[in-house]
A and B are shown apart, each in its own frame.
Chain A
C-alpha cells in the first residue's frame, strides 16, 4: 500500500458553516520531507482546511467536518489543538505568538521547560521544580543553529526585528520532539525580501531533516522556488494538485483565479476617457492590516472602477484613507480641487460618500431604526431632514419617513417597516440600508467597499444592479473595492489591482485570468517583465 509513504493524508475533507459550503471534497497528501504549497485566494478555504488540521474549536462547535485525516497511515480524530500538537503537527503563526518580555530560550521552551526537582517541589508538587536553564539554552541554540539564526538565545523578544521573531517561532516548532508536520501560514507576509530568502532556505533545511512542510501562501515566485508539490484551492474546492516540475507560475495564476464571469455591463470598451474625477498621488494610509504605501490612481468621471487584490494588501485602506477614517498622507483632488485628508467632513463636502466594508461596526447604528440610519449622515452633513429655527433644530420625522419608504421600495429592503431596528435585518438588507444612507447625501462620487461580503445571492444581484443603475442614470462615479474578482469583472470598466500597498496594475475586465492571477500575487512585473527581456 502507498499509505506507508505519507506522513499526513487528508481525505475528502468537506466543511459546512450553517448550511454554507466552504470546503468540498479536498484531498491532500504529504510525504516526510516534502514541501507542499497550498495556494488560493482569500476565502478559497485555506484557513478552514488548516483549522480542521489543528482541531480548532470553531470547527467542532459548528458540527465538525467531513472526510478523514490519517497520520502515518492511521486514522486520527483531531478534536482539539492539544491533540494535534500531540500528533506532531506544528504551526508557525502569521501573527507572532511570542511573549515580548521573555528571552528567546524562554519563548521556545515555554510550557515544555526542562526542570530539576528541589525540596519545595517534593513537598508542594511538580509546579515548583527548578528550571534547568543550561539544558534549555543548549536546546534553543541547537534549534536556532538549524535554521541559521545567529543571535544569542538570551536576547529578549521585545525590540527584535520582525524577521527574527518569525525565526524564533520556527525554532520553537522544530525544538518540539516528534515534530512531523509544520504548517507555515503566509510566513513571508511581513518579512523583507532578504529575510524571506533566509526563511525559504531555513524551510529547505527543515524539510531535509525529514519534517514535512505545508506552505500556505499566495506568492507564486516563492512557490516556484521551494515547493515540491502544489495544491490549488478555489472557492473551497480542490482545483488541482501538481508537481512543481510539471507546471509554471502562469498556469498557477490562472488556476487560482479562473472562474466564470457573468457580465452585467457589456460595453466596457465604449467608455471614453472623460474628465478626471478623483486624482490620487502618493497616497499613504495607516490602516492596521490594510496599509496603503504608495498609490497613484486616476478615476474618470462617470466610470465604475474596481479596486481588487488579496486581503491585507491595502485595497481596503484606499477608500478609508480618502474618507478620513484612518490617518492618510498624499495628494488627492476631487474634480481638480485638492481634498484635505484625515477630515471626514471635508470629504463629504467635496461630494464623496462611502459605504464601509465594516457594515455592522462602521456602516450602521444597530440599535436605531432603518429610517434614522438612512437619514443620519445627510442630516448631520447637509442639514437635510431638519426643521430649523436659528441655532435650534428638530428632526423632521415626516420627511425622514417619506424618504425611508421610498428607499425601502427602490432598493427592495425586506423589513417590517421603517421603524425596524437595523440589528434585526439580514446582511443583504443591512447593506441596502448602508447604500441608501450614502445615497441620501446625493454624492457625485461613491466609494463602495466589499458591497457583497456575506450577503445572499439575491441581495448581491440587487446591490450590483443598483450600482450600475446609479452609474448609468445619474452619472455617478463609483469606486468599488472588492475581494471578489468575479464581481469586479462583472460591473467595472477598469480594475486596479493592489498588491503590497501599491497599484500593481490596471486591467480591463476582459483581461486573462493569468494576468489577474499574476497581478494579485504581485508577480506580474516579475514574470511578464522577464518574458519581455
Chain B
C-alpha cells in the first residue's frame, strides 16, 4: 500500500503536488478572508482560456527536442500585426477577429521558418538563443511600431506618427469569444467560446501528434540518432515545430487580446514566453517531453494560482505591489526549478 502510494506520488510529481497543495491553501485562505470564490473561478477560467494557446505553443518545440519556445514573442508580434490591420480596415466583431488570425498565420509561418532555420544552426543552445531572438525581435518591432504606415486615429498617437502603447479593442473584437455562448452557473461565468477555441486548438494538436509527421517529430526529439537511422530529415521536422509554435503564438495573442480587451505593443510581448513555459512545466512536462494533458493541467494550475494568490496576498499584506512581486517570484521560480531538472534527465 505504502509502495503504491509512493509510486502514485512519484508519477504525479513532487513539484506539482506542492503547487496543488499551495493552491488549496490559498483557496481556503480566500474563503476564510471572505473573498467570494465565484468570481475567482470565473477569472481563473478566462485566464486559462486566454493563456492556453501560448502554453500549447510550447508543445511542438518540446517534442521536437528544441525545448520550450522562449522565442514566443516572434509569433505574438505577427499576431499583433494582424490585430492592428483589422482595426485599420475598420472591422468589428468576429470578422475583425478572424481577419487578425488570417493575417497572423502566414506572417508567423514565414517568421517561424526563418526562426527554425536559425535554431537548426545552434543545436544544443536553443533555449538561450531563442530567448534572445525573441528579445531582439521585440526591440526591432519597437522601431516598426513607430514607422509602420497605420493611420487609424484609434491607434496612432494624437500628435501624429507612431502607434500607441496600448490600443483599446472595446469597439472592435473585445470579448467576442468570451461572450460567445457564455452562461452563468453557481455564480461562475463560463466563457464558453473562449474555452471552445482553446479546446479546438488542443484537439488539432492532438491529431497532429498522432499523425505520421507528429510521430516523426517526436522521434526527432526523443532520439536524433534513431530518427536519422529511420530516414527522417531531422532539420525539417525541427523547422516545422518552430513554424507550428510561432503560428500558435500568433493565434494565441489574438485570443489573448480579445479577452484582455487591449492590444499591447512595444515591451509587453517581451515577457510573454516565460509564463507559458512555466505553465507547461508545472503541468508535468519536462524540457524534453510533454503532452496535451501537461498543457491543460499546467495552464489551469498556473493561472489559478495567480488569480487566487493576488487578492489573498493583498488582503494579508496591505502594501501595494506585493502581489505582483509574488507572482514574478512564483513564475520565475518555477522556470528555474524546471530548468534545473534538465541535466538530470537523459
Contact = CB atoms under 8 A, between A and B. Distances in A.
B225 to A, nearest CB: 5
Given A348-B231, A377-B230, A380-B232, A365 B219 contact: yes
Interface residues of A, number: 30
B19 to A, nearest CB: 24
B212 interface: yes
Nearest to A395: B210
B125 interface: no
A362 B226 contact: yes
Given A323-B229, A345-B231, A354-B229, A379 B212 contact: yes
Contacts, number: 66
A207 interface: no
Given A325-B229, A344-B229, A347-B231, A365 B223 contact: yes
A367 interface: yes
A381 B230 contact: yes
Given A344-B228, A354-B229, A395 B211 contact: yes
Contacts of A347: 231
Interface stretch (A304-312, A386-394, A506-514): A386-394
A266 interface: no
| Interface majority SS (helix, strand, loop, mixed), chain A | mixed
A83 interface: no
B216 A325 contact: no
B222 A381 contact: no
A152 B97 CA distance: 76
B211 to A, nearest CB: 5
A376 B228 CA distance: 12
Contacts of B231: 324, 344-345, 347-348, 377, 380-381
Contacts of A372: 215
Nearest to B289: A367
A386 B212 CA distance: 7
A364 B226 contact: yes
A363 interface: yes
A394 B229 contact: no
Contacts of B210: 394-395
Contacts of B225: 358, 361-362
A380 B216 contact: yes
B18 interface: no
A363 B226 contact: yes
A376 B215 contact: yes
A121 interface: no
A356 interface: yes
B244 to A, nearest CB: 15
A368 interface: yes
Interface string B228-239: 111110000000
A381 B207 CA distance: 20
A356 to B, nearest CB: 6
A363 B207 CA distance: 26
A366 B223 contact: yes
Contact of B215 (A344, A356, A366, A379): A379
A394 B226 contact: no
B212 A393 contact: yes
Contacts of B289: 367
A383 interface: yes
A354 B231 CA distance: 11
Contacts of A363: 226, 229
Contacts of B219: 365, 376, 380
A381 B219 CA distance: 14
Nearest to A373: B226
Contacts of B223: 361-362, 364-366
Nearest to B219: A365
Contacts of B212: 379-380, 383, 386, 393, 395
Contacts of B215: 372, 376, 379-380, 395
A365 B222 CA distance: 7
15 contacts: A324-B231, A325-B228, A347-B231, A356-B229, A362-B225, A362-B226, A363-B226, A363-B229, A365-B226, A366-B222, A372-B215, A377-B230, A392-B211, A393-B212, A395-B212
Given A354-B229, A368-B222, A381-B231, 7 more contacts: A325-B228, A344-B229, A362-B225, A365-B226, A376-B219, A377-B230, A383-B212
Which 3 residue pairs across A and B have the least CB separation, nearest first? A344-B231, A345-B231, A377-B230
